[in-house]
Amino acid sequence: MLESVGPLTGSPWIYAAVAVSVLLDVFLPVLPSGVLVITAATAAAAGSAGAAVGQAVPNIMALTLSAATASVLGDLVAYRLAWRGGERLDRAIARSRRLSRAQERLGAVLARGGGARGALVVLARFAPAGRSVVSLGAGAAHRRVREFLPWSIVAGLAWAAYSVALGYFGGQWLGASWFATGVSFLALFGAGAGAAYLMRRPEPQESGTSA
């Protein structure tokens, strides 16, 4: 596994590659940004264990910060584009029942504030395409940036730290191999599936009490 990407993981360009991939996957969720982060972290684990992966290996802290920073920047770009999208974006969202429902729920949760707002943004960062829906929905709904940005930072850090930890500890425990990377990616996919399930759950209905 690492031999095929050794020249990249052994150079400073790995941070740029991770940053570009993470930044763009808010618009193209099919980009394998999580796989790239895990692979780079696995290379770091192999280097710390003394495996021959080249003269240099990625720094775990720098890898986490580059992925988290790119995640937040991508969220902000999508948010600002949706904010300025105007009627064209509104019509595109209105044509999709799924996006319309997501936007309505997002607006309600963001308006509610507190932990509910934060939980939605953090969960969305792990769910497939959830980051795109939340970032674009927050901009299209013209939510204030102070309602969105702090939780985007928390979500980006959580996702980056989790992905790097999966690759790093998977590489240390299972070795620098396709198997270790595959197990780490399955764990990332499992977290995404769980987050998607929680996001799709219907909101509990508030029961009124009669006087």
Q: How far apart are alpha carbons 141 and 131 in whole angstroms? A: 15
What does the pLDDT profile of the chain (211 residues) look like in tens digits? 445 455 566 677 889 989 999 999 888 876 678 888 988 888 887 766 554 444 466 889 999 999 999 999 999 998 998 888 766 666 666 666 656 666 666 655 655 555 566 788 888 888 877 888 888 878 877 778 888 889 999 999 999 999 999 888 887 777 666 676 778 778 888 888 888 777 666 555 444 443 3
- b (16+ CB within 10 A) / e for 114-127: eeebeebbbbbbbb
pLDDT for 211 equals: 36
pLDDT for 53 equals: 44
Question: Is 0.85 surpassed by the pTM of this model?
Answer: no
Q: What size, in residues, is the chain?
A: 211
Contact at 8 Å (CB) between 17 and 36?
Answer: yes
